[in-house]
Chains A and B, each alone.
Chain A
């Protein structure tokens, strides 16, 4: 209707079409429009934090995330710096690369770790006592990065038609093939005979490629943990900045469009295949680069390091941090690598245990006063039980908390600690599992009522049974519980934004 007359097509006698656009009325989407406005405002504590975080300018966010890392080496010892610091950073860089492939472009790449291993091995071949070559790092590292990118391109080329599960299978096969290759490419009987050079010991087979040179840039050798730590930290900061810009650029947008709907992306002038290959190449290049660091740090490359276990760890980091979030990988790496290390000591583990319980209670129970009632109730319940049992059965309170501190001493008066508690604790463990199951069946205030003895039982089992095995199985149970709680609180990752599949 070129003349723009709105009411022209209406039948006789129909109500006149209002001309004001800013007034809510039936039949237009003004009501929905207001609804939209309300919907995106975050509520509660998480919303507040999220909005505050959004308000910080990007350089400030980077400084907040990485600042603590810069201070860390000066307040800790060598062993902790390696375990908590360097490994976390290496995982974070590695996760950053995976985040491009999985988070930005949405390609489920399960072969990612192969690129990491490829980087370490290739660096080892170019610079190690094992191979006999000693290339400078300023030459070797760029060669590794470019070669890994090309390997990524190769994997992309054979699998660009595939999506989702199918891509996952092919890339997983690629990882397995890589592991088998490095396990066997030691110039032994079953190894290939390469053109021109014949049989060569490339990877050292199952024994690994040892004596890899430290990174040596223009004669500056990085030899200390601290040196590698800062090298990795700077690399992480630079890569995060670069990826931040890429994410905002046409390429980043095209990757996200591709993740959302490849067909629509193609119809909107995006060369889908080229962008997929680009994502593969970038992810691979970052993994290869990280491989050179890891190889040099370990001064060796061993086939067992580059398998599905590490793949799952890195995926956990990316998912926990939030798919597609650049800052998230740092937090994800910190939790996934830091938490199990922290849990090796029983004092740390105790804080984490009670912390997770209280946090889960406060977040999971709604409305909030029920959680408070449950907490206060459990505390009172504990002291009451302790007093009663202390009066009738002296052995029941005779034990003492391992470790101590003010918190430990308070616990001494709260939780029952019988001497020789093995059998009782075993039964209590069983009862705890039953109580936890009952808890899922009851609703409302009954849940609070059941919650109180359950929580106390959990504390009892923890102090009498689990804490002894804290460096073993308990650690993993607790880590699992922690991850479950985090993912329940933030289903799309700590820094992730909620994604909608079909509306």
Chain B
């Protein structure tokens, strides 16, 4: 199967610092790929490069066989790549439902004049995206449903905010979800739930998923394939077992001396 997303020799410098170095990465249709690595390894930068917040200095990023590097962020999202943020970036003062509906801007076409005069297309679209938003929120069971539709996002608990971010990403009509530490800040129970949720996102909802995660239980539970980064370089790739025992990975996390002891 052809890769859904492919990074070819992508390099990014911040001033004199090389954050991502000649990175090659591919995600196949229907896969769950985890990116791991110590803090500052360049994981989130990779996400920012894929979603167009940064542009690579060299190399290219291809999605569904078409080049997406160099496009504006909203164009990339409209092509089918949506993300969540490590530090939550919800629209806090908008309601839960509005948060999800706002993400459907790219799937609607009614102009502002049509909205002003409430012409049929505007009303039809509004009805349609409302239904889609409710459907996406229903994916999370009762947690984001019912009365909570009209609550402002800031009133949600931390875990529900993370869920809402995922719902929002789903609503963009994406095929590929980039989840940036979906289990960060969650308690063990919620972490388990996230693990299950990511599985369901693939199996029931049909998304391909690229995920950054620090919690190795989650990584082990979900990953078809794990990619380890350190200082912007891919140091290992393979199944969880292969990567977790890879000497370079152990060294990256624990340092050279500890790694020698471990091996």
Contact surface of A with B, Cβ cutoff 8 Å: 1-4, 6-10, 17, 21-22, 27-29, 32-33, 36-37, 39-40, 242-243, 245-246, 248-254, 256-257, 260-261, 263-272, 278, 282, 497, 499-500, 503
**B interface secondary structure, majority:** helix
Instruction: Report the Cα distance A269→B82, complex, angstroms.
Output: 9
Instruction: Report the Cα distance A193→B126, complex, angstroms.
Output: 52
| B96-126 near A? 1/0 per residue, CB < 8 Å | 0010011111111011100111100010011
Q: Are A267 and B112 in contact (CB under 8 A)?
A: no
Instruction: Report the Cα distance A21→B196, complex, angstroms.
Output: 15
Q: Are B105 and A245 in contact (CB under 8 A)?
A: no
> Given that A32-B157, A246-B112, A267-B83 are known contacts, is A256 also in contact with B98, CB under 8 Å in the complex?
yes
Number of A-B contacts (CB under 8 A): 171
The answer to whether B149 has its CB under 8 Å from any CB of chain A is no
- A3–chain B nearest beta-carbon distance, Å: 8
Q: Are A256 and B89 in contact (CB under 8 A)?
A: no
Chain B residue nearest to A272 in the complex (CB)? B74
Chain A residue nearest to B198 in the complex (CB)? A1
B73 touches which of A3, A28, A267, A503 (Cβ 8 Å): A267
The answer to whether B233 has its CB under 8 Å from any CB of chain A is no
Instruction: Report the Cα distance A242→B74, complex, angstroms.
Output: 27
Instruction: Report the Cα distance A133→B26, complex, angstroms.
Output: 68
Please name 5 pairs of A and B residues whose Cβ atoms are closer than 8 Å in the assembled complex, sorted by A: A21-B141, A32-B157, A36-B156, A269-B103, A269-B172
> Given that A250-B108, A269-B74, A269-B172 are known contacts, is A9 also in contact with B91, CB under 8 Å in the complex?
no
B147 / chain A contacts, CB cutoff of 8 Å: 37
Q: Are B217 and A9 in contact (CB under 8 A)?
A: yes
Q: Are B105 and A36 in contact (CB under 8 A)?
A: no
Q: Are B94 and A253 in contact (CB under 8 A)?
A: yes
A-facing residues in B191-231 (Cβ within 8 Å): 192-193, 195-196, 199-200, 202-203, 217, 221-222
Q: How many residues of B contact A (CB 8 A)?
A: 68
Chain A residue nearest to B218 in the complex (CB)? A9
> Given that A4-B199, A9-B195, A21-B141 are known contacts, is A28 also in contact with B53, CB under 8 Å in the complex?
no
> Given that A33-B157, A250-B110, A253-B94 are known contacts, is A269 also in contact with B105, CB under 8 Å in the complex?
yes
Given contacts A257-B91, A269-B104, 17 further A-B contacts (CB under 8 A): A2-B200, A4-B196, A6-B193, A7-B192, A8-B221, A10-B192, A37-B147, A40-B155, A249-B110, A249-B122, A249-B126, A250-B129, A265-B102, A266-B74, A267-B53, A269-B103, A278-B112
Instruction: Report the Cα distance A254→B110, complex, angstroms.
Output: 13
Q: Are B74 and A1 in contact (CB under 8 A)?
A: no
B77 touches which of A3, A28, A268 (Cβ 8 Å): A268
B107 / chain A contacts, CB cutoff of 8 Å: 269
Instruction: Report the Cα distance A29→B147, complex, angstroms.
Output: 16
Q: Are A268 and B115 in contact (CB under 8 A)?
A: no
B85 / chain A contacts, CB cutoff of 8 Å: 264, 267
A1 / chain B contacts, CB cutoff of 8 Å: 192, 195-196, 199, 221-222
The answer to whether B39 has its CB under 8 Å from any CB of chain A is no
Q: Are B116 and A253 in contact (CB under 8 A)?
A: no
A253 / chain B contacts, CB cutoff of 8 Å: 94, 98, 101-102, 105
Q: Are A264 and B89 in contact (CB under 8 A)?
A: yes
- A42–chain B nearest beta-carbon distance, Å: 13
Q: Are A250 and B125 in contact (CB under 8 A)?
A: yes
> Given that A21-B141, A28-B189, A260-B93 are known contacts, is A503 also in contact with B154, CB under 8 Å in the complex?
yes
B89 / chain A contacts, CB cutoff of 8 Å: 261, 263-264, 267
Instruction: Report the Cα distance A245→B85, complex, angstroms.
Output: 31
Q: Are B172 and A268 in contact (CB under 8 A)?
A: yes
- A283–chain B nearest beta-carbon distance, Å: 13
Q: Are B72 and A257 in contact (CB under 8 A)?
A: no
> Given that A2-B199, A245-B116, A270-B74 are known contacts, is A17 also in contact with B189, CB under 8 Å in the complex?
yes
Chain A residue nearest to B202 in the complex (CB)? A2
> Given that A268-B172, A271-B72 are known contacts, is A21 also in contact with B91, CB under 8 Å in the complex?
no
The answer to whether B86 has its CB under 8 Å from any CB of chain A is no
A7 / chain B contacts, CB cutoff of 8 Å: 192
Q: Are B142 and A39 in contact (CB under 8 A)?
A: no
Chain A residue nearest to B85 in the complex (CB)? A264
A243 / chain B contacts, CB cutoff of 8 Å: 116
Q: Are A500 and B172 in contact (CB under 8 A)?
A: no
Instruction: Report the Cα distance A278→B125, complex, angstroms.
Output: 20
Q: Are A263 and B168 in contact (CB under 8 A)?
A: no
- B248–chain A nearest beta-carbon distance, Å: 26
Chain B residue nearest to A261 in the complex (CB)? B89
A-facing residues in B128-158 (Cβ within 8 Å): 129, 141-143, 147-148, 151-152, 154-158
The answer to whether B258 has its CB under 8 Å from any CB of chain A is no
Q: Are B122 and A36 in contact (CB under 8 A)?
A: no
A251 / chain B contacts, CB cutoff of 8 Å: 111-112, 115
A-B pairs, top 4 by smallest CB distance, nearest first, are A269-B106, A249-B115, A32-B157, A264-B89
